[in-house]
A and B are shown apart, each in its own frame.
Chain A
């Protein structure tokens, strides 16, 4: 009898605990180090070697593109311009994709801030794809799963840089600690002498949404307000 009472009490405690736990909200992971990309919009020639290297590394069919080089053009002759914007997953400080995932397939790595995905846990609800402001999660119609850039985390663990960076013949794409990239103390060929980086360029979704780990050397026509 006493045992039953204890069990009942425990059960109510468990229910209360579950209820309390259910009310806990999502708290973003704060990484020890946040890696991020830097891309030089001016010097990029748009060869798409980074895109192809990425596809090769990740075995992607036609369709999904973890990395995308975009040709931005405009002006009226003779005042015409063109520049390239190159983005993949920006491994945001507070990614929007992560809290949407109902199966826990997406997570943020504490050691380097990489937003990783285990697509074998994906049920194809595509909420992450909708929530990401930068179009990073890619739906693969060949298997109905969402996949995304993981900054070639296996390469990082082997002391190398991601395939896209290694494939860049112009050396306009690089990775490094994003705070150092932003304050100009990270040594990289992607940022030339006298050049500075910016957090956002024209038509990029507001970086305040998720604090993406990317910096650009902007084209004069791509600067916000230009």
Chain B
């Protein structure tokens, strides 16, 4: 009797274990589908299995420099699929959540992943022309670190534990608004009313008028969007500030430029990175139609240093 009881308990235990496992698996399924579908399927582009595809030369320099979005997204399409949960485990609804930077008038739409916010949302498609290799310049699968170490993060293209170099990518639009060097009386958010709540109607109609002349931005569209709503300008120049410093935008020469640079501009480059220049063949060859086909148009410098 005792033996039978033990057997019954064992059977029940096993059944409960499998039921629990299946329940957990079923619960986890929706969240896992995006990532695991990529991991389990052979690479569409290369015909390689997942482990071999991870070491494909396209993931490393120099091939990654000319990788197109089609090539990257043939395996990583899931980054463009909506995957934010409708609500958190504690019941916080995504639709009811609002971060401080999401109160900008130009911030629209549902909660999205950062990949979709940079590649797929209407504002991103209107003002940016980002390529996968704008951020992703290489990685190290084994150590998440450049091996051997390089003297600068720019040489490696990525930093310890990151697949990107935030200082050369994110910081361009997620740095502080350098109101001090711009000669403003205080932070923009505190002075915007007294400055007419417009960047382009007062100051930037005359100074630094040749802006955003790089292949990852749509300069003309940015100008239009900035005229329509000042939050477009502020959004990338302080309104979505993650970092405590500003990006050191290149300081292009302009007619009548003084011979001596102010202290804050002394170490700044005088030209954009070659891979972002509008006339660079590498940049042109990396263009594709996955996110957008419209190139940023160059315009002659009028005055002031271009940003970036």
Contact = CB atoms under 8 A, between A and B. Distances in A.
Given A68-B144, A73-B147, A96-B243, A122 B31 contact: no
A22 B100 CA distance: 7
- Say whether chain B's binding surface is mostly helix, strand, loop, or mixed: loop
B103 interface: yes
A103 interface: yes
B99 A99 contact: yes
- Residue in A99, A129, A203, A210 with the greatest tally of chain B CB atoms within 10 Å: A203
Interface stretch (A134-142, A149-157, A160-168): A134-142
Interface residues of B, number: 57
A203 B114 contact: no
Contacts, number: 181
Nearest to A71: B143
Contacts of A102: 94, 97-99, 102, 111
B87 interface: yes
A130 interface: yes
Contact of A123 (B30, B94, B103, B187): B94
A106 to B, nearest CB: 11
B149 interface: yes
Given A96-B242, A134-B162, A135-B160, A124 B31 contact: yes
Given A74-B147, A205-B153, A144 B100 contact: no
B88 interface: yes
A105 interface: yes
B109 to A, nearest CB: 12
Contact of A203 (B89, B159, B241): B159
Interface in B153-184: 153, 156, 159-162, 165-167, 170-171, 174
Interface string B91-124: 0101001111111000000011110010000000
A12 interface: no
Interface residues of A, number: 59
Nearest to B188: A25
A173 B117 CA distance: 38
B160 A105 contact: no
B160 A209 contact: no
10 contacts: A23-B189, A25-B187, A74-B149, A103-B88, A103-B92, A105-B92, A131-B166, A141-B35, A145-B89, A203-B146
Interface of B: 28, 30-32, 35-36, 83-90, 92, 94, 97-103, 111-114, 117, 143-151, 153, 156, 159-162, 165-167, 170-171, 174, 187, 189, 238, 241-245
